[in-house]
């Protein structure tokens, strides 16, 4: 693997300094803080100059080195930014995970969008990634549901109807009745199983529709019910290790540092969400030996995961070298700062939100249906991903669909712009040699660029750095910020200089090359966010 520019500079500096890209362009390409006289670094074929201001050492990279990146990006194409650093290591990403007989909520939307981005980022870095949709398809609530289906004689298994049954149940709860049905279900009773199966099928069909719109396909869908046979093993092993106790009839594990214990079995013997997660961990360890498991789940489940992780360590389901991470995503809020899930007491339907986004994309001028879908759905994804995972998001259609600013449509628009330039270039100039010729430009002895060209150039080499940091910090928003900067720099350049009728052939070829490279990086970056990049808008 080629040494990164960062490693090159660190080696030259010879001290573990914190190398950063300065906030302002006029402060150079890299900067670090060092006490006076502590480091001496000189210019070379990569470093154009070094300036010390206050305690800061600012480094400018050579034009020639920067411009070589153009051909590197073009040569690597769809692979630009990828590495093999994760090779041989497996990462499991637990994401989406909606609940059967309940609507696909906005929290599940966040999980799906973020989970897919984390999936793509790790895959790009060479990890073997397994996406697992841990469907909520088991638990005592299914006792309530089957009980109510029987009681009301429900035949029409729509999610809406099923959701209503929970509400009805709680108006007149019959816990014994519900418990009996869940017991039957766990004992494999044919009628209970067949009702349950119908609920699963109806729900899955609806979820599939949403995945289809989102363009997301999750590798595995084991779901909670899959772990039925493994749960007794967990109980056996927990008892063997002597970590269980009985509290008010329930089987629990005391977790050091927590006031409440983790419940494995309810007092009626019913299994819990927690024991299913433990069984899942046991299964994943045996099947994939992952180095890391990322749970893309909202912050409201923090206590659950802290306790489950702690007990999994006690049980040996995750060794000390295995990372267990809960991402703790924030909520969607509406403009009044309230939870977005409900509006005027009514639950917002996710499909309606996505449909509205597509409709708004049409109004932006996307004529073809495919493009409207790519832009509408892309806008929603991008809006989510451009926030910190842990932040709450205030949903704002103006920002989601903005054609200017840090938005999905803006990036897609910029990508389409690059493609439009290139389509003209290929017919006007680039035949019979369609590859932009940078060779001459680089052989000019002294490579000179105007400010706008240089400012785009200075962003090209940063993409691999950004991808890596976004994966390490589980922060797809870093990719968004970077793509936005890149697109802005390109647009500034585009608005000021002509590409196809540049003054010299050399300049024209260079600018075409720059355009290819920017388009390529936008495409790769949007791809990591699972956002399409239509060639035309």
* Residues within the interface to ligand ARG (CB under 6 A): 94, 97, 99, 134, 136, 277, 280, 295, 297
CA distance 447 to 153: 79
Query: Which residue lies nearer to ligand ARG by CB, 474 or 479?
Result: 474
**Nearer to ligand ARG (CB atom), residue 227 or residue 493:** 227
Helix boundaries (H) for 366-475: 369-385, 397-400, 408-428, 439-442, 451-460, 463-472
Closest CB to ligand ARG among residues 127, 295:
295
> Considering only CA atoms, which of 281, 273, 280 is closest in space to residue 142?
273
**What residues contact 510, with CB distance under 8 A and at least 6 apart?**
67, 70, 436, 438, 441, 449, 453
Token match 């024991």: residue?
275
* Four-residue CA torsion sign, 336, 337, 343, 344: negative
Q: Are strands 323-326 and 332-333 parallel, antiparallel or unpaired?
A: unpaired
Residues β-bridged to residue 131: 93
Give whichever of 181 and 295 is closer to ligand ARG, judged by the CB atom: 295
Q: How far is CA 317 from CA 68, 228, 293, 299, in A?
A: 48, 17, 12, 23
Contact 132, 222 (CB under 8 A): yes
d(CA 467, CA 526): 12
Which residues are CB-contacts of 447 (< 8 A; sequence separation ≥ 6)?
Answer: 63, 64, 67, 441
**Based on CB atoms, which residue is closest to ligand ARG, 309 or 482?**
309
Smallest separation, CB 278 to ligand ARG (Å): 10
| Beta carbon of residue 176, minimum distance to ligand ARG (angstroms, whole number) | 26
CB of 99 to ligand ARG, least distance (A): 5
Considering the complex, what minimum distance in angstroms separates the CB of residue 152 from ligand ARG? 25
Q: Quick one: 124 or 309, whose CB is closer to ligand ARG? A: 309
Is the peptide bond between 451 and the residue preceding it cis, with omega within 30 degrees of 0? no
Taking the least distance from each CB to ligand ARG, the nearer of 50 and 325 is 325
Nearer to ligand ARG, 179 or 329 (CB): 329
Rounded to a whole number of angstroms, the minimum distance from the CB of residue 280 to ligand ARG is: 6
Is the Cα dihedral 295, 299, 302, 303 positive or negative?
Answer: negative
Residue 401 main-chain phi, psi, to 5 deg: -100, 10
Q: Which is nearer to ligand ARG, 99 or 437 (CB)?
A: 99
Q: How far is the CB of 279 from ligand ARG (least distance, A)?
A: 10
Minimum distance from CB of 299 to ligand ARG (Å)?
A: 12
Q: Token digits for 302?
A: 């923090």
Shortest reach from residue 64's CB to ligand ARG, in Å: 50
Smallest distance, Å, CB 342 to ligand ARG?
17
Closest residue to ligand ARG: CB criterion:
136
Least distance (Å) between residue 319 CB and ligand ARG: 19
Burial of 55 by CB count in 10 Å (0-12 exposed, 13-18 middle, 19+ buried)? exposed
| Rounded least distance, CB 329 to ligand ARG, Å | 11
- Cβ closer to ligand ARG: 272 or 491? 272
Q: Which residue's CB is nearer to ligand ARG, number 313 or number 424?
A: 313
- Residue 131 contacts residue 219 (beta carbons within 8 Å): yes
**Ordered alpha helix ranges (H), 497-530:** 505-528
525-213-348 Cα angle (round to 5): 110
């Amino acid at each position: 693997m080629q040494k990164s520019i960062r490693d090159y500079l660190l080696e030259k500096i010879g001290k573990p300094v914190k190398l950063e890209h300065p906030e302002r362009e006029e402060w150079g390409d890299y900067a670090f803080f060092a006490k006076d006289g502590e480091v001496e670094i000189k210019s070379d074929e990569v470093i154009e100059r070094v300036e010390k201001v206050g305690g800061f050492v600012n480094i400018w990279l050579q034009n020639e080195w920067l411009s070589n990146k153009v051909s590197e990006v073009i040569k690597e194409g769809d692979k630009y930014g990828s590495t093999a650093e994760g090779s041989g290591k497996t990462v499991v990403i637990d994401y989406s995970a909606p609940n059967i007989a309940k609507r696909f909520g906005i929290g599940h939307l966040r999980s799906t969008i973020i989970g897919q981005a984390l999936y793509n980022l790790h895959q790009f870095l060479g990890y073997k990634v397994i996406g697992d949709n841990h469907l909520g398809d088991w638990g005592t609530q299914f006792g309530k549901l089957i009980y109510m289906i029987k009681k009301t004689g429900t035949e029409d298994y729509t999610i809406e109807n099923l959701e209503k049954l929970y509400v009805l149940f709680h108006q007149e709860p019959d816990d014994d009745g519900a418990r009996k049905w869940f017991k039957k279900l766990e004992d494999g009773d044919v009628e209970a199983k067949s009702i349950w199966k119908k609920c699963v099928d109806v729900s899955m069909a609806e979820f599939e529709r949403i995945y289809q719109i989102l363009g997301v396909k999750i590798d595995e869908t084991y779901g909670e019910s899959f772990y039925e046979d493994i749960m007794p093993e967990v109980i056996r092993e927990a008892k063997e290790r002597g970590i269980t106790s009985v509290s008010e009839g329930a089987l629990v594990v005391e977790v050091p540092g927590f006031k409440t214990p983790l419940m494995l079995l309810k007092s009626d013997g019913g299994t819990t969400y927690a024991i299913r997660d433990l069984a899942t961990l046991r299964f994943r360890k045996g099947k994939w030996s992952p180095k890391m498991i990322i749970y893309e789940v909202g912050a409201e489940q923090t206590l659950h995961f802290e306790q489950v992780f702690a007990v999994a360590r006690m049980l040996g389901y995750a060794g000390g070298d295995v990372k267990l991470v809960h991402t703790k995503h924030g909520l969607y809020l509406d403009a009044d700062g309230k939870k977005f899930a409900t509006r005027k007491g009514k639950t917002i339907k996710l499909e309606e939100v996505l449909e509205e986004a597509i409709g708004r994309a049409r109004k932006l001028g996307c004529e073809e249906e495919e493009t409207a879908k790519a832009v509408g759905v892309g806008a929603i994804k991008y809006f989510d991903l451009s926030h910190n995972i842990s932040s709450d998001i205030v949903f704002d259609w103006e920002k989601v669909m903005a054609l200017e600013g840090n938005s999905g449509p803006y990036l897609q628009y910029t990508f389409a712009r690059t493609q439009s330039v290139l389509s003209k270039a290929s017919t006007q100039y680039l035949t019979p040699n369609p590859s932009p010729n940078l060779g001459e430009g680089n052989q000019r002895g002294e490579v000179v660029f105007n400010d706008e060209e240089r400012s785009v150039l200075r962003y090209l080499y940063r993409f691999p750095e950004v991808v890596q940091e976004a994966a390490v910090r589980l922060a797809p928003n870093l990719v968004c910020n970077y793509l936005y900067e890149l697109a802005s720099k390109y647009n500034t350049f585009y608005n000021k200089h002509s590409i196809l009728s540049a003054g010299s052939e050399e300049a024209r070829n260079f600018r075409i090359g720059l355009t290819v490279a920017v388009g390529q990086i936008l495409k790769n970056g949007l791809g990591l966010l699972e956002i399409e990049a239509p060639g035309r808008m």
